[in-house]
Chain A
Amino acid sequence: MDNNLQPAALPAEELRRLYRLVTAVRQLDLAAIAWQRQGIIPGYAPELGQEAAQVGSAFAMDPKHDFVFPTYREMGVALTMGVDMTAYMSTHKASWHGGLYDPVQTRLAPIQAVVGGSVLHAVGWAHGQTLAGNPGVALTYFGDGASSQGDVHEAMNFAGVLKAPVIFFVQNNGWAISLPTEAQVAGGTVAARAAGYGMKEITVDGNDAAAVVLATREAAAHARAGHGPVLIEAMTYRRGPHSTSDDPGRYRTLAEERRDEGADPVRLLADRLVAEGIADSAFLDAALQDANANADRVREGVMALGPRPGSEMFDFVFAEPTEALKAQARAWREESEHV
């Protein structure tokens, strides 16, 4: 065993589950980029390099009581939470903005395209748990770019004042499309801001899945005990483009990527498992095969998604639709379907 590696304070079985999850996320992520190139989906926001941050944090939550608020780049969170991945990836198929999964049943809020848009919702939901006497904790994701948004600051201040059980989980991946963290975050870290809002902060190596699990569990216990919100800054790296429409070559070089990207989260966990004798190459191979098979299944599911019925444009605007909207729906139907 390599004595330089700190043994992870997680049971072997959890480490093996984590590895299967980060591998599944990695392979599905790579597959989705290929689908976009093949014309199966119009676009995708890769998370290459952020698998440990996403899997580790979602892994730490209690799916019965807690609720998770994603951005548009939390595929790894959804997969870890057991969300149907065809329904999740449907957002990238342009089937439905929020995804076709049920957010109430899965406890994963709809996919959020407004940067920083859902962070306040987590505070409201969390304060609702306090009011109702429920033990739930809200976990809200955002990035170093979103940390500049006023809503994120308002959310942290509200949560601090109300002692709301919220975990603000920042994936600092170094880049907000083309803008590096040093041009985005005054003071250098998002975590430093926690002090100003009177909340606990944890800075964690976002490439180390086990460390992220431990940090998030610590944060969840803190929030659940009524001690208020926690800010976790997971330091990681966006190894890929911002989206499949992006061209990182315009703002960073390959040499800079290699210099800055740090440890590959999937490789790091594999090395630890092998070094600690928790897994062997057969286990790693099986995990990879399962991950590829899963990606293939999701690919088939996504390809089988037909176009959405046009009537859905009208169906969910209101819980109680107005007569004017019903009239528009009738007119659309008559003029487009000739019925």
Chain B
Amino acid sequence: MSEQPSGAVASSDLEAAARNTEQTAAQEQSSPAPSPEDGAGRMENLSMQAALNRALAETLAEDPRAVVLGEDVGRLGGVFRITDGLQERFGADRVFDTPLAESGILGMSVGLAMAGFHPIPEVQFDGFAYPAVNQIVTQLARMNYRSRGTMPMPVTLRVPSFGGIRAPEHHGESLEALFAHVPGLKVVSPSSPHEAYHLLKHAVAVPDPVIFMEPKSRYWQKGDVFPDDAGPLQGAKVVRPGRHVTLVAWGAMVARCLQVAELAAEDGIEVEVLDLRWLKPIDAEGLAASVARTRRAVVVHEAPLTSGLGAEVAALITERCFDTLRAPVGRVTGFDVPYPSGDLEDEYIPNIDRILFGIQRVLEYRRG
């Protein structure tokens, strides 16, 4: 099976990403770090790939116990180039290639954490996390518990996640519900370069295992990053306010929901978009605060419907907002099918039309 980037990650994208990263590195080297006073309003337009690369570089520079490991993360810089240039800059002790075995990568990360390191392993694609699930579930998630708090696991597992890039089988999976179900794990997914930069830096500082789900279809989209203004690092974030319905999303679905909100606004429907960000712990109060205003909610995710995280979101909303909800919480999700080939993934991933229908169902709901 291919462990190379799919055809959709065209070489031109990779070259562009590399140029971005080189420019970034050049900027970092040519100018001293800004002082807090003049840096407060800094803003840069970066791709998520560059933002993640920057976050890792700063983490490695600031935290001597941080190590990056995985398949092809060293000399190659990762198949998505997220670790581009890091081995060259920090050395092969801090950023190292492992043999091709995901359970080995995770098991080794557990041992490194036992030795006091802050490992940042990468599995190359979401579907490649499956061979590591035993180590993640039976070891990484439980070592702090098993050791009665004497062996915490400050491990941040980076997982290029979700679909949308016409990749081969097992390169487009959405594993958030699986991981969120495991006691001892925390799960987060950034939706933009700004979030990616700050949430990754934060995740590495969390003393617990964090599954960091990067929306791979968003790696090459640029966005404004405010390096000195992280804002709240916990909880959900309203990325577009609205009065009529709350769209709850994470990862790549946030950008899509913002498009939907724009279209709905043309019909006079004011959609609030809530970027959940943390999939465990879910910000139940943030959810409730938004839905208390809008009184309607639709949760959107790429993962299959049944036992997906949307069910948890719906339950949390219902527990807190039952009396004021105008309609049952809607769900617009992938289907209960294996993630399809590229030809069909646009049918599978919630698209703008399906999300608009989901909003319509909730708005038109009448009590029986």
Contacts and interface: CB of A to CB of B under 8 A. Distances in A.
Interface of A: 67, 96-98, 100, 102-105, 109-111, 114, 117-129, 131-132, 138, 150-151, 154-155, 157-158, 161, 315-320, 322-325
Contact of B111 (A100, A127, A132, A150): A127
A124 B67 CA distance: 12
7 contacts: A109-B147, A117-B134, A124-B113, A128-B112, A157-B99, A158-B104, A318-B186
B107 A320 contact: no
B186 A154 contact: no
Given A124-B108, A151-B134, A316-B147, 17 more contacts: A98-B148, A104-B150, A117-B107, A120-B106, A120-B110, A121-B114, A124-B112, A125-B111, A126-B111, A127-B112, A128-B116, A131-B67, A157-B104, A158-B108, A316-B149, A319-B207, A324-B282
B150 A103 contact: yes
Closest 7 CB pairs of A and B: A124-B111, A120-B107, A128-B115, A154-B104, A98-B146, A124-B108, A319-B207
Contacts of B206: 320
Contact of A154 (B107, B111, B144): B107
Given A317-B183, A319-B208, A125 B114 contact: yes
B111 A123 contact: yes
B123 to A, nearest CB: 14
Q: Which of A105, A132, A319 has the most CB of B within 10 A?
A: A319
A315 B150 CA distance: 12
A322 B281 contact: yes
Interface stretch (B31-39, B135-143, B219-227, B341-349): B135-143
Contact of A318 (B109, B117, B134, B184): B184
Nearest to B113: A124
A111 B110 CA distance: 15
Contacts of B107: 117, 119-121, 123-124, 151, 154-155
B145 interface: yes
B93 interface: yes
B192 to A, nearest CB: 24
B151 interface: yes
A322 B280 contact: yes
B51 to A, nearest CB: 25
Contacts of B112: 124-125, 127-128
A322 B234 CA distance: 11
B99 A161 contact: yes
Contacts of A161: 99
B103 A154 contact: yes
B226 to A, nearest CB: 25
Contacts of A105: 150
Contact of B115 (A100, A125, A158): A125
A108 to B, nearest CB: 11
Nearest to A154: B104
A132 B112 CA distance: 11
Contacts of B148: 96, 98, 100, 102, 315-316
Interface in B142-180: 143-152, 154
Contacts of B117: 128, 131
Nearest to B285: A323
B14 interface: no
A245 B154 CA distance: 37
Contacts of B363: none
B98 interface: yes
A123 to B, nearest CB: 6
Contacts of B325: none
A280 B41 CA distance: 83
Contacts of B106: 120
Nearest to A327: B284
Nearest to A118: B139
A98 B148 CA distance: 8
A109 B114 contact: yes
A124 B110 contact: yes
A170 to B, nearest CB: 18
Contact of A319 (B116, B144, B282): B144
Nearest to B141: A317
B289 interface: no
Contact of A110 (B116, B143, B152, B183): B143
A120 B134 CA distance: 12
B104 A104 contact: no
Q: Which of A103, A126, A129 has the most CB of B within 10 A?
A: A103
Nearest to B185: A318
A63 to B, nearest CB: 16
Nearest to B145: A316
B183 to A, nearest CB: 6
A171 B124 CA distance: 35
B101 interface: yes
Contact of B146 (A97, A126, A151, A157): A97
A148 B317 CA distance: 47
Contacts of A98: 145-148
B151 A155 contact: no
A319 B149 contact: yes
A129 B112 CA distance: 9
B285 to A, nearest CB: 8
Interface in B28-73: 67
A114 B108 contact: no
A36 to B, nearest CB: 22
B70 to A, nearest CB: 12
Contact of B109 (A100, A122, A124): A124
A120 B135 contact: yes
B145 to A, nearest CB: 5
B111 A110 contact: no
A176 B146 CA distance: 25
Given A158-B98, A316-B149, A132 B281 contact: no
A323 B147 contact: no
A116 to B, nearest CB: 10
Contacts of B134: 114, 117, 151
A187 to B, nearest CB: 21
A157 B281 contact: no
